[in-house]
Amino acid sequence: MSVLKKYKNAESVAQDLKILDLERKIAFEKIQHLKEDYLENLKPVNWMHSGITRVGKVVGIYLIKKMLREKRTKKS
């Protein structure tokens, strides 16, 4: 819901137009930055790094569980 603004002179209209233009430029730059981040995240190198990290975590958890099982069987 927008409220119509009443202007008293041309200077206030010009000032609001400048403000809106700057806000538009800022929004455009934010979108450009998001686009660059998105494209960077889609590079295969980043996918490989993420995959290797996850595999490393799974293997680490597996090895820890295996070591704990071996300690339990040795105690018994």
Using one digit for the tens of pLDDT, what is the confidence trace for 37-67?
A: 888 878 887 778 888 889 999 999 999 998 8
Q: What is the pTM of this model?
A: 0.52
Q: Residue 6 is which amino acid?
A: K
CA gap 60, 27 in Å, rounded = 43
CA gap 39, 47 in Å, rounded = 12
Query: Which phi and psi angles does 6 have, rounded to 5°?
Result: -100, 125
Is residue 7 within 8 Å of residue 13, measured between CB atoms? yes
Give me the residue spans of the domains in the chain: 10-75
Strand residues in the chain grouped as ranges (E): none
The percentage of residues in the chain with a pLDDT greater than 70, rounded to a whole number, is 95
